[in-house]
Amino acid sequence: MPTSSHKIRLGFIGAGFIGQIAHIENYAQLTNCQLHAIADLRPKLLNQVADKYDIPHRYSSHQELLDDEQIDAVIVVTARSHTADIVKDCLLAGKHVFSEKPMAGNSDIASDLVQLAEQRGLVYCVGYMKRCDAGVVKAKSIFDDLLTNSTLGNLLQVSAQCYMGDSYCKAAGYIHGNEARPNMVNEANFAPSFLNDEQKPIFARYVNVHSHLLNFLRHFMGCKPTVEYFNTLSPLAHVCVMRVNDTLITLETGEVEQKNWQEKCTFIFEKGQLIVTLPPALLRNVPATIELQQNAEVSQSTLIQVDWSWAFKHQATTFIESVLNIEVDSIISAKEALVDIELAEDIWKKLSN
């Protein structure tokens, strides 16, 4: 088992765009881990990426990589429909695991993975990097203080929106490669069985895009909300109403044809509001922004900015620290990600009723 004085030896499964931009590059900048091995089904891309980041051990499949006994932990960034099976293989091989979200297409598969990690005594984390965003961390601290001190009175309602635009922000500096992507499995095959064939691919898309906001809401509210209502008249637009005790939560999600990424959450108190605006995922070194509105004798609006930083890099640091401190539950643990899938299923069950 790794100790605090041991550099965590990492293996990467997947050398594609997100793997390079959001993960390999960030781990390469950390001093308490080393890039030990990488696997990809595309041999040319595999070697180009390994050369760029000076990764010494290269494998043509994830099974070969998992046979490398020197690897402590594995970063899995593959097609979503393959993620759960590869994560299972990693856990069975005794490796700590970080995977991109969603961890699985339904809660049954996700639950099996969580149980397997716990049985093997392994760290398993999932990529909800917004919890690691420095702006989100600051906003959560402010929110908790507002609840504790009742500075703005009672929390009445929460309003959250995500209108998906372009989150890539013209990311550059990665190797494109000209080899065909590996065959994809239909994501709908992994959707919950209570959905019909038409709903399953829409659910898969919903979980992939909007589970980030579900994760965000649970993080702030401290529990899984109860779902009151859900409707989607179009695959591109959805409205959900949830509640936590006496607090209503409205969640509006959709996909629009625009460059701008619109995602924010407003916590509405009796005497003011806390507004957290989330940046596009690949907008480097731009954390979430915070606005605190206080309605006293004179209304005040305060913008709160934290230092420039990138959620993906903080996420990499969080995973390594989780491996080094295995007895401490991680804020990006798979146990948390499982609840996001369970909540998504609760939402879509309202549609099928």
Per-domain boundaries in the chain: 8-129+314-332, 134-308+340-352
User: Average pLDDT for residues 154-162, to the nearest whole number?
Assistant: 97
CA angle 138, 143, 149 (to 5 degrees): 125
Residue 5: pLDDT band (50, 70, 90) is low
Q: What per-residue confidence (pLDDT) applies to 302?
A: 95
What percent of the chain shows pLDDT beyond 70? Answer: 97
The pLDDT value given to residue 9: 98
Q: Which residue carries 């990600």 as its tokens?
A: 337
Check pLDDT > 80 for residue 56: yes
Output the pLDDT for position 186. Answer: 85
Quick check: bond before 102 cis, omega within 30? Answer: yes
**Radius of gyration (Cα) for the chain, nearest Å?**
21
Beta strands in 24-69 (DSSP E): 33-39, 57-59
Task: Please tell me the distance from the alpha carbon of residue 197 to that of residue 203, in angstroms, as a whole number.
Answer: 10
Q: Which pLDDT score, from 0 to 100, does residue 164 have? A: 87
Q: What percent of the chain has pLDDT over 90?
A: 88
Report whether CATH 3.40.1580.10 matches the domain 8-129+314-332. Answer: no
Could you tell me which residues are beta bridge partners of residue 289?
277
Report, as an integer, the average pLDDT of 102-124: 97
Whether the CB-CB separation of 318 and 27 falls below 8 Å is answered with: no
Q: How far apart are CA 202 and CA 11, in angstroms?
A: 32
Dist. CA 287–CA 308, nearest whole Å:
6
| Higher-confidence position of 338 and 177 | 338
Distance (Å, rounded) from C-alpha 90 to C-alpha 67?
Answer: 10
Residue 146 DSSP one-character state: H
pLDDT recorded at residue 353: 57
- Contact between 100 and 209 under an 8 Å Cβ cutoff? The reply is no
- What's the average model confidence in pLDDT over 145-171? 94
Tell me what pLDDT residue 95 has.
Answer: 98
Q: Judge whether residue 3 has pLDDT over 80.
A: no
Are 320 and 75 a contacting pair, CB within 8 Å?
Answer: no
Task: Give the CA distances from residue 269 to residues 131, 159, 242, in Å, rounded to whole numbers and listed in that order.
Answer: 22, 11, 17
Residue 172 in tokens: 């550059």
Evaluate if residue 297 carries a pLDDT over 80.
no
Which pLDDT score is estimated for 49? Answer: 98
The C-alpha atoms of residue 76 and residue 126 are separated, in whole angstroms, by 10
Does pTM top 0.85 for this prediction?
yes
Does this chain's domain 8-129+314-332 share its CATH topology with 134-308+340-352?
A: no
pLDDT reading at 1 higher than 80 = no
d(CA 129, CA 212): 8
Q: What is the pLDDT of residue 352?
A: 63
For residue 80, what pLDDT is reported?
Answer: 92
How far, in Å, CA of 50 to CA of 40, rounded? 10
Name 243's bridge partners.
Answer: 226, 248
In the prediction, which pLDDT does 189 show? 84
- Residue 18 pLDDT: 96
Task: Label residue 350 left, alpha or beta by phi (over 0 means left) and psi (-120 to 50 means alpha).
Answer: alpha
- Nearest of 268, 310, 264, 306 to residue 286 by alpha carbon: 310
Domain 134-308+340-352 coded CATH 3.30.365.10: no
Task: Report DSSP state, residue 15.
Answer: -
Q: Are 182 and 306 in contact (CB under 8 A)?
A: no
In tens, the pLDDT along 172-212 reads: 999 998 898 888 888 888 899 999 999 999 999 999 999 99
**Pairing between strand 8-13 and 237-244?**
unpaired
Please give the full DSSP string across 219-279, using - where no structure is assigned: HHHSSPPEEEEEEEEETTEEEEEEEETTEEEEEEEEE-SSS--EEEEEEEETTEEEEEEPP
Q: Of 14 and 184, which is predicted with more confidence?
A: 14
Q: What is the pLDDT, as a whole number, of residue 313?
A: 98
